[in-house]
A and B are shown apart, each in its own frame.
Chain A
Amino acid sequence: MTFLRAHRTIATVIAFVLAYVVIKVLNLADILNAYYIQLIMLAGINIVMTVSLGMVNGFTGQFSIGHAGFMAVGAYTSAMITTVWLHTSAANPLVAYPVFIAAVLVGGLLAAAAGYLVGAPSLRLKGDYLAIVTLSANELIRTVIRVTEVLGGPRGLGGIPKLTTLEIVFVFTILSVVLMRNYLFSSYGRSMKAVRDSEIAAEAMAIDTTRQKVFVFVFSAFFAGVSGGIFAHLLQFIHPDNFSFVKSLEYLIYLYVGGSTSISGAIVGPAIFTLLPELMRGLQAWRLVIYPLILILVMIFRTEGVMGLKEFNFILIPHRQRKEVSA
């Protein structure tokens, strides 16, 4: 246990691998059918989307409401690459997977570039401008895709090879969460929180707040783009309306219900709210009443989200044992 406490990254990985093994065993034992497996994969994608959104909204205190736009950039970019490149050789996994991974990363990079274009001018300003700009950018991206014939326009883009597997989702989720967690528990992560708590004081304490905000926004968009790529190769069909601002609002709900100032919250929120509607299927139309009711109750009784400021143990980086303090 001491070893695990000292190596939290390994602990995080083990936590996820255990979850994977349980799900895989349940799947092989036919307790979880393919439909539930797909749902779990969606939950993984939503977790990465929400954790990356939390980096901007929760930890840096900037209100972005266009995260689905960056997801769309990643989804369409990677889908275009794989459909054009792989339509003949999709059968050969030795070719398909490297191309798929490269395509997803390119999608992430393009999303990051879009993030820079949106973030660099608007993050200089203090206040609510970012919300308006990101909302507009989201709709702009969606509309551009709608009118671009090569991307399938309003009909959507189909025939995407199904390359996303449960294993891929797990590896991708672990990597993304660990990378973002690491960043948060660093000097840069502390600067993010400083910007959130008091931008004036952060600036007075020699932090280049604009640069820090833009960097966080860009890598958050990168992870959204990568999620989009994984998402596209799971559903095999994407439509511009999949990425409207309503989708962005969904991620905001996941984030704030889970707890915006906690990585654990950004994991719990989407995990619950991706699976919950399905678990309530027996309630039929009533679930549409109960779902918002749960949201309202959580917001009333746990204003800071389910997790509040708390983190799961496997997320935290341990405090170093300090030499005993004595005056």
Chain B
Amino acid sequence: MALLDVQHLTQYFGGLRAVSDFNIQLEHGEIVGLIGPNGAGKTTVFNVMTGVYTPTKGTIVFDGQNIVGKKTHQITQAGMARTFQTIRLFTKSSVIDNIKIAYHFRMSYSNTDAFLHTRKYWQGEQMVDDYAIDLLRLFHLEGNADDVSGSLPYGAQRRLEIARALATKPKLLILDEPAAGMNPAEADALMEMIHWLRDKFDLTILLIEHQMRVVMGVCERIKVMDFGETICEGVPEYIRNDPRVCEAYLGKGA
């Protein structure tokens, strides 16, 4: 059974049809890309999937349960974690606290333990500190653990955002333009990282990306959207040569 099964997803904003009849199935372990010109509805699809909007029509079945109408935090707890197009770290918190915050829902001590700093509190804190530092080490951020996250350089903030998403123990990782603002060398490192993430954390990855080099290099399957419609779908070589895709990006006659 597919890990994610989206059927006939349609999203209206008032009279504007942002996404129409969108379908996607993701199998466990796949890396799939979602591309299209600006305003095609890609981020809207992500937002609907993660519960930011409730879809006008359609069903979303994730890991065997219907998640339409669920709140964002419930969907994340079910195993779908995301990063944002514009980085949204907890900028005033330390780097390690960003990870710990994402771990919060798996913490086992209660409000009372927190008020009284019981033994359970100290055990929980020790455990999460170990967990967080180990995770940061994988992303080469352990040296900055106690820095304010807003002060990190751009590339490190991107890495931290991915590490933070992983702290929720996702099955599906959704990356919204992970290579935005990266130079070719950084983008190469990112491509390597995406493959490594999939293998290391046993993930399925869905990503939106504008840098074609990254999309073509990393995705096994690509879906192209334009004006809310899915116009094309297939392996990278097929997408590259499809006239409809050229038309969507460059206009008719190009």
Contacts and interface: CB of A to CB of B under 8 A. Distances in A.
The finding on whether chains A and B are genuine partners in a shared complex, rather than unrelated, reads yes
Interface of A: 9, 179, 182-183, 186-191, 193-194, 196-198, 200-209, 215, 261, 309, 319-320, 322, 325, 327
B118 to A, nearest CB: 10
Contacts of A196: 92
A305 to B, nearest CB: 14
A183 B89 contact: no
Interface of A, helix, strand, loop or mixed by DSSP = helix
B124 interface: yes
Interface stretch (B4-12, B106-114, B184-192, B230-238): B106-114
Contacts of A197: 89-93
A193 B90 CA distance: 8
B101 interface: yes
B248 to A, nearest CB: 29
19 contacts: A182-B117, A186-B117, A187-B109, A191-B101, A191-B104, A194-B104, A198-B90, A201-B84, A201-B89, A203-B73, A204-B81, A205-B102, A206-B73, A206-B81, A206-B102, A208-B73, A319-B146, A322-B133, A327-B140
A139 to B, nearest CB: 31
A26 to B, nearest CB: 33
A207 B104 contact: yes
A138 to B, nearest CB: 26
B105 A207 contact: yes
B93 A190 contact: yes
B181 to A, nearest CB: 18
A202 B133 contact: no
A161 B84 CA distance: 58
B168 interface: yes
Contacts of B116: 179, 182
Given A187-B109, A215-B111, A325-B137, A9 B90 contact: no
Interface in B89-103: 89-93, 97, 100-103
A207 B73 contact: yes
B30 interface: no
Given A187-B109, A187-B125, A188-B111, 14 more contacts: A179-B116, A182-B114, A182-B116, A186-B114, A187-B104, A190-B104, A193-B92, A193-B101, A197-B90, A201-B90, A203-B71, A204-B81, A206-B81, A206-B102
A204 B117 contact: no
A258 B17 CA distance: 50
A156 B121 CA distance: 45
Between A188, A196, A209, A215, the greatest number of chain B beta carbons within 10 A of the residue's beta carbon is seen for A188
Nearest to B129: A320
A147 B97 CA distance: 49
**A-B complex: 4 closest residue pairs judged by Cβ atoms:** A186-B114, A206-B76, A201-B88, A197-B90
Between B77, B101, B143, the greatest number of chain A beta carbons within 10 A of the residue's beta carbon is seen for B101
B115 A179 contact: yes
A182 B143 CA distance: 27
B114 to A, nearest CB: 4
Given A205-B168, A325-B133, A327-B140, A194 B115 contact: no
Contacts of B206: none
